[in-house]
């Protein structure tokens, strides 16, 4: 029997060891979120994963779990805090339960328009709030556009604040959101996003509030035939990583992750603008009545909420700093 030369055996062993070493060098980051795979945020995350793989030469990878596979928004943040999950995307309204100063984003009519919102989010104030989460084991990486939130209802249109009286309106688990609906005369009811369609069908709530793409992609328009574009809040989505994972990365890896996250924010905002337009067109085709009410009547009802934060120096200061941004 012919013997295999020692040199060939050593070459095979060396190749195997190098292959194992290459596999071991790839660090996989688990990213979970609650949105549909057709949502602009999910597409931006796919872009980020691809971008990070290229930047890192394949040494860093992102594995995405959409559709609440690993829990709702609050649960995924908690998983980040204990180091069981790497990254997630949550609304800033949920973040206020973990990084209190984020509650400022939930205040109604805080931003003059979209350009003002981006100026704040991409500037000193936005970065300050992202960094402020680190004491709660959360590293903020950027803000995705989540548009403006408006009311949609089953049985009657909302043309003025008085129309909300007696209606049960689904809100996120946010004290600020609940206070806003209360100020407008409605009855705020916190319900998980994944349970909302059934809750609307069964009459647990009479309506909800969200941006056009979420209203459309959730198919809530099948139940709610009135969409009132009062655009009461502009609450961004926040892309975050647990500090357990962030601190385990070396400086170069951190720079790659941040750069890919920032690139995905730019990409997502372009997708979002298109998605908003398409969503409004599609829900109208499905028989939804779009109402464009006088926003000033809603604004007058909630401005007193700003003064409720007089005793919270940090938040009250943020309100005035944001209003001062040109």
Domain residues of the chain, as ranges?
26-145+235-279, 149-234+285-324
Output the CA–CA distances (angstroms, integers) from residue 106 to 115, 161, 246, 308, 319, in the order listed. 17, 18, 27, 13, 11
Global pTM?
Answer: 0.84
Reported as a pLDDT band with limits 50, 70 and 90, residue 81 is very high
Residue 30 has pLDDT above 80, yes or no: yes
Residues 6 or more apart whose Cβ sits within 8 Å of residue 115? none
Residue 121 has pLDDT above 60, yes or no: yes
Instruction: Residue 84: count other Cβ atoms within 10 Å of its Cβ.
Output: 13
Q: Mean pLDDT, to the nearest integer, of 11-37? A: 68
State the DSSP H helix or E strand holding residue 150, giving kind and residue range, or none if neither: strand 149-153
Fold assignment, 149-234+285-324: D-Maltodextrin-Binding Protein; domain 2 (3.40.190)
Residue 202, classed as helix, strand or coil, is coil
Reported as a pLDDT band with limits 50, 70 and 90, residue 6 is low
Reported as a pLDDT band with limits 50, 70 and 90, residue 5 is low
Instruction: Check if 26-145+235-279 and 149-234+285-324 are the same fold.
Output: yes
| pLDDT value of residue 17 | 41
Question: What value does the mean pLDDT of the chain take?
Answer: 92
Cα-based torsion angle of the residue sequence 244, 247, 117, 325 in order, rounded to the nearest 10 degrees = 130
Structure tokens given for 107? 């205040």
| pLDDT value of residue 19 | 44
Residue 137 has pLDDT above 90, yes or no: yes
> 26-145+235-279 belongs to which CATH class?
alpha beta
Residues 6 or more apart whose Cβ sits within 8 Å of residue 67? 34, 35, 36, 37
Which is more confidently placed, 10 or 65? 65
Residue 167 has pLDDT above 90, yes or no: yes
Instruction: Residue 23: count other Cβ atoms within 10 Å of its Cβ.
Output: 8
DSSP 67: T
| pLDDT value of residue 1 | 44
Q: Mean pLDDT, to the nearest integer, of 239-266? A: 98
Residue 189 has pLDDT above 60, yes or no: yes
**Percent of the chain, pLDDT > 70?**
93
Reported as a pLDDT band with limits 50, 70 and 90, residue 200 is very high
| pLDDT value of residue 194 | 87
Residue 97 has pLDDT above 90, yes or no: no
Residue 22 has pLDDT above 70, yes or no: no
DSSP 110: -
Q: What does the alpha-carbon distance between residue 268 and residue 265 come to, in Å, rounded to a whole number? A: 5
Residue 18 has pLDDT above 80, yes or no: no
Q: Mean pLDDT, to the nearest integer, of 46-59? A: 97
Structure tokens given for 182? 């209360």
Structure tokens given for 27? 């660090």
Q: Mean pLDDT, to the nearest integer, of 54-73? A: 96
| Count of residues in the chain | 326
H-only helix segments in the chain = 6-25, 40-55, 73-81, 92-95, 114-121, 124-131, 175-183, 196-201, 212-217, 243-246, 251-285, 295-302, 304-307, 313-324
């Amino acid at each position: 029997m012919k013997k295999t030369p020692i040199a060939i055996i050593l070459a095979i062993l060396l190749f195997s060891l190098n292959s194992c070493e290459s596999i071991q060098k790839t660090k996989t980051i688990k990213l979970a979120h609650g949105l549909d795979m057709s949502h602009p945020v999910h597409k931006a995350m796919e872009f980020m994963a691809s971008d990070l793989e290229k930047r890192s030469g394949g040494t860093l990878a992102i594995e995405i779990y959409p559709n609440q596979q690993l829990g709702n928004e609050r649960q995924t943040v908690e998983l980040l805090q204990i180091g069981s999950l790497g990254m997630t995307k949550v609304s800033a309204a949920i973040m206020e339960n973990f990084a209190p100063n984020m509650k400022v984003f939930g205040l109604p009519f805080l931003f003059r328009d979209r350009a003002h919102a981006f100026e704040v989010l991409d500037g000193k104030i936005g970065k300050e709030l992202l960094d402020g989460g680190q004491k709660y084991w959360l590293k903020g990486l950027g803000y995705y556009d989540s548009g403006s939130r408006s009311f949609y209802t089953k049985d009657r249109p909302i043309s003025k604040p008085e129309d909300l009286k007696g209606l049960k309106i689904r809100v996120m688990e946010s004290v600020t959101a609940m206070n806003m609906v209360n100020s407008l005369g409605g009855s705020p009811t916190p319900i998980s996003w994944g349970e909302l369609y059934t809750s609307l069908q069964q009459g647990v709530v009479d309506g909800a509030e969200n941006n056009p793409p979420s209203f459309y992609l959730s198919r809530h328009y099948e139940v709610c035939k009135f969409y009132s574009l009062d655009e009461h809040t502009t609450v961004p989505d926040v892309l975050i990583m647990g500090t357990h994972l962030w601190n385990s990365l070396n400086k170069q890896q951190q720079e790659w992750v941040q750069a890919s996250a920032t690139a995905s924010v730019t990409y997502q905002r372009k997708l979002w603008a298109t998605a908003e337009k398409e969503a409004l067109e599609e829900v109208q085709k499905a028989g939804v009545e779009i109402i464009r009410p006088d926003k000033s009547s809603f604004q007058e009802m909630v401005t007193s909420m700003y003064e409720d934060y007089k005793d919270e120096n940090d938040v009250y200061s943020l309100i005035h700093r944001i209003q001062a941004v040109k």
